[in-house]
Structure 1
Amino acid sequence: MTKAAAARTAAAASKVPPVTAWFWLVKILTTGMGETLSDFLAHTVGPVPAVAAAGLLLAGALALQLRLRRCAAGVYWAVVVLVSVFGTMVADVAHVALGVPYAVSAGALAVALAGLFLLWHRVEGSLAIDRVTGLRREAFYWSAVLLTFALGTAVGDLTAATLDVGYLLSGLGFTALIAVPAVAARARWVGPVAGFWWAYVLTRPLGASFADWMGVSRARGGLDLGTGPVSLALAVLITAVLALSAVTARSSRRA
């Protein structure tokens, strides 16, 4: 088997969907939904029951994901949504309940993520997501995903609230920043793997900032659409985009 054929076989077996424009669109939508759904549940059922329920649902969905032999888009993105909700709650609890400043939690989470990446690379030799096969690699991958969501939440809240930039301006700023990895990768300033994880971290505050802007009250600089309705609208959009991406993938295979 040639190296190219081996690479294609590994990518097909990976438990992560192909990184296309659809992937990034769904990722941004899930980050927004995680932010608003987390706030909605915390205010509706209370922080403690919300965290407990999100943790249990995440554990169940992740167990199912780990049992599958191949990537199932519905299961994968369900886990991502639940990681988004739970990761948001973790960052918010650290700030609200424990009084940890967002700057401190963001710094600690960045160090934790860097340490995880170093360990993952040392053990597996690569952080490439087209090689996420087997329990150990998936454990590294989902641990990194959880840390990126918590880190992105802390960074987004740091800019919007602590630095008083506001949700809309924060979202626009992160939109500009997320273009940097694409430009850097095209110019070969960074490799594709580094560019992927750079963009992956930034999707969290980007999606969350715009979702908060739509959901929170006007007094907080938002459109006051409500976190519940925004979460529902994002869920519908995610379902529609996944359906469209599946149709597009089938059409491309037939061509």
Structure 2
Amino acid sequence: MTIQQSHSVWLNKVPEITLVFWLIKMMSTTIGETAADFLNMDLRFGLTITSIVTGALLMLSLFYQMRATCYQPVRYWTTVVFISVFGTLITDNLTDVWNVPLVISSLIFSLLLLAVFILWYRREGTLSIHHIDSRRRELFYWLAILATFALGTAVGDWLAENVNLGYYGAAVFFGTWIVIIAGAHFIFKANPVFCFWAAYILTRPFGAACGDLLSQPVDNGGIGLGANLTSLIFGFAIVLMIVGLVVSGRRKRAA
């Protein structure tokens, strides 16, 4: 979904919204689901240690991302991957440690995301991702991203497990809504900022459902690849695409 670029595109901290953007975003959401499960269950770190480790990595990556003065693929997408894992763990902690029902978590994160959007718009006058060109706007942006990942995890798990849609059913449900929003944007010219954020929110539960579908055992409704193999496959694909973005950017600057 292409949104008109601002005049300060070289200072903008968010990449162009292309097919590659959505592919990496979707795969990072899958990584968020499977990597959290791999560290927590397969390596037996437990939720607490896993949350501390990923939280520290997120803060480190966010520190380097905030120091940049323009979009840099490696810094940006590394931060997205870590915020995906950490957002998943926030919901997992609420569910497994604090016994908060998924429907309540979904409501909490919906209200939190709405509050971020309202405050962001009142302070900056725009929610466009092509105007992430100041420290305050970038802070609002990453707060919104974190809320979308936590919300997507809660909603995705609620529909897949509590409503009994199953992983395949949840993937189809969210994938259908993403197609509807894309159609509203491209065919009916719906508001591009609204369409972007709606699609961004939906790619989280869609990616999580796809990750669970691939990684969970057959008896649980999955394909049975396992969290480690699924994480490796998607992680390798993300690295390849980021390398492609870096090489492409260098060629454009050299031209």
Shorter-chain TM-score category?
A: over 0.9
Q: AA paired with 2:30?
A: G
TM-score normalised per structure 2: 0.93
What is aligned with 1:118? 118
Q: Which residue in 2 is equivalent to 1:16?
A: 14
SS at match of 1:184: helix
Distance 1:101 1:233 in 2: 32
Is 1:139 matched up with 2:104? no
Distance 1:182 1:253 in 2: 31
CA distance in 1, matches of 2:5, 2:165: 44
- SS across alignment from 1:9: coil
Structure 1 residues 254, 182: closer, same or farther in 2, change over 3 A?
Answer: farther
After TM superposition, give the deviation of residue 7 of structure 1 in Å. 5.3
| Native 8 Å contact 2:73 2:245 kept in 1 | no
- Cα distance in 1, alignment partners of residues 173 and 10 from structure 2: 35
8 Å CA contact 2:11, 2:70 repeated in 1: yes
Q: 1:42 aligns with which of 10, 18, 40?
A: 40
Give 1:250 shift.
5.9
- Aligned mate of 1:29, from 6, 27, 30: 27
Q: What percent of counterpart residues are identical?
A: 37
Task: Extract unaligned runs of 5+ from structure 2.
Answer: none
Cα RMSD for the two superposed structures = 1.8
Between the two proteins, the alignment pairs up a number of residues equal to 250
Equivalent position of 1:178 in the other structure: 178
1:227 is displaced (CA, Å) by 0.4
What do residues 168-212 of structure 1 show as CA deviations (whole Å, max 9, x unaligned)?
Answer: 121121111111221112344631000000000001011111111
Q: Report the TM-score, using the length of structure 1 for normalisation.
A: 0.93
Aligned to 1:87: 87
One-letter amino acid of the structure 2 residue matched with residue 205 of structure 1 = P
Name the structure 2 match of 1:98.
98
Q: Which moved more, 1:242-251 or 1:8-17?
A: 242-251
CA contact (8 A) 2:167 2:213 kept: yes
SS at match of 2:222: coil
Distance 1:85 1:211 in 2: 12
Give the whole-Å Cα distance in 2 for the aligned partners of 1:26 and 1:171. 17
Q: Equivalent residue for 2:159?
A: 159
Distance 1:38 1:20 in 2: 27
Classify the secondary structure of the residue corresponding to 1:70: coil
Q: Supply the distance in 1 between the matched residues of 2:196 and 2:12 (Cα, whole angstroms).
A: 16
Instruction: Give 1:76's aligned amino acid.
Output: Y
2:200 aligns to what SS in structure 1? helix
Q: Kindly provide the CA deviation profile for residues 203-243 of structure 1, in whole angstroms up to 9, marking residues without a partner as x.
A: 10111111111111122111111101111111101011223
Distance between the aligned counterparts of 1:165 and 1:191, measured in 2? Answer: 30
Secondary structure at the counterpart of residue 8 of structure 2: helix
The equivalences for 1:167-246 within 5 A come to 167-188=167-188, 190-246=190-246
**What CA distance in whole angstroms lies between the structure 2 residues aligned with 1:107 and 1:212?**
22
Matches for 1:52-67 after TM superposition, within 5 Å? 52-67=52-67
